[in-house]
Structure 1
Amino acid sequence: MGRWEPGARERLVVAAVDLFTEQGYDATTVTQIAERAGVTKSTFFRHFPDKRELLVAGQETLSRLLTEGIAEAPESAGPLDAVAAGLKRASGALGPENRELAPRVKAAVAASAELQERDALKSVSLAAAMTTALAARGVPDPAAAVAGELGLLAFKRAYTAWSEGEPGAGDELAEYVQTALDELRAASASLG
């Protein structure tokens, strides 16, 4: 496969996840990832600064979609409804290939302290993006922070349920996200 063929970024992610699963994160080199993906090492570095960044490849896009969805929610939407709009928009960007890859990513992260740290930073970043977007809508702190954290928790719960479930027709991540957010909304209301 030539380095100029399309999909190099996606192939690099899949190759990395496969290698991390097969031989562990620490034992996997950038050279091995590039070879498995059918690209050169320099192509790897055009897409990623290091191998750790492979597993958070879509974080910037996810943050942008969350923020845009929150910003575009109707003015009358409360904080959690605005978060729901952001989550719906972001969920639409994740398809069957993400669902298929998710269990392997989860296993790779679970096996590496370095990847666990990076995953935790990703979570903080996504919650912060939602909180900032809510603040831009005029939602005061701490309501914006609580809504952002609930949005993150809903997304994580939904993503886990979606990726571990059996794929089926009409089985979109957005459905799981809305259910998880509704459950968290009810749970927080019951706290008194």
Structure 2
Amino acid sequence: MPPDSNRRSEKSRRAIYAAALTLVAEVGYPKTTIEAIAARAGVGKQTIYRWWSSKAEVLMEAFVDLGAQAAEAAGSGDWAETDGIPDTGDLEADLKTVLRATVDELNDPRYEAPARALAAEGVGNPAFAKEFVATLLLPSLELYVRRLRAAQDAGQVRADVDPYIARDLFVSPLAQRWLQGTGPLDHAFAERLVEYALYGIAPRRP
């Protein structure tokens, strides 16, 4: 029986994913090359170029696969891989649950190095940035909008609130602290962020 080419291709693809993620963590994104990925994966570089046009594309696909594999191993417990942000009827509790999970992922070494590399690539590569946002960011961000609209329907958020602007009140400060390291990125920060976004910072009226 001839070898199964689909199985062989899948094995090579997974080896390439692993090589790209490992190299970025070990030597950094600038020193990670297609040649180095190919050598680490035990494939020819033409195999990589047959599927991807750049190391950024390899890394992005590897990163997406990493998240999918982690969610599958956890029994699809990742909120972004299921039906969306939990809706228990308690908006504050649901948002805190999600932001705590996001903090854990951003602090996980498996995710941090490739995520920072992809973010950096997007700064200097507008075409890649557009793909990065569409593939990795917008699907998760849209889940916030859906959850906030459900809260509006339930009377928990004012009807005149733009859910897209409200979404950014939660996720943008988290991303900024992660990128710039301006303070601790922990559960306490995530929970306070939800409270400030939901209730504001002005003195509460008696």
TM bucket by the smaller chain? 0.5 to 0.7
Shift of residue 43, structure 1, vs aligned partner: 8.0
Residue identity opposite 2:41 in structure 1:
G
Give TM-score scaled by structure 2 length: 0.54
Aligned twin of 1:132: 146
> Aligned in 2, Cα 1:145/1:82: closer, same or farther, shift over 3 Å?
farther
Instruction: Name the larger-Rg structure.
Output: 2
* Correspondence for 2:129: 116
TM-superposed deviation, 1:22: 3.6
For residues 107-150 of structure 1, what are the alpha-carbon distances to aligned partners after superposition, in whole Å with 9 as ceiling and x for unaligned?
Answer: 33322222322333343332212222444x45447564444333
Relative to 1, partners in 2 of residues 1:8 and 1:175: Cα closer, same or farther, differing over 3 Å? Answer: farther
- Structure 1 portions without partners, runs of 5+: none
AA aligned to 2:30 is T
Match in the other structure for 2:99: 87
Deviation string for 1:45-93 (max 9, x for gaps)? Answer: 9xx866444236249659x524759643532x13x54222222233333
**CA positional deviation for 1:35:** 1.0
Amino acid at match of 1:13: L
The 3 A distance-change label for structure 1 pair 176 and 81 is: same
Q: How many Å separate the matches in 1 of 2:46 and 2:121? A: 24
> Partner letter of residue 101 of structure 2?
R
Residue identity (%): 8
Task: Give the counterpart of 2:168 among 138, 149, 162.
Answer: 149
Provide the TM-score with structure 1 as the length reference.
Answer: 0.57
**Residue pair 2:103, 2:186 contacting (<8 A) in 1 also:** yes
RMSD: 4.5
Do 1:150 and 1:184's aligned partners in 2 also have CA atoms closer than 8 Å? yes
What is the total number of aligned residue pairs between the two structures?
170
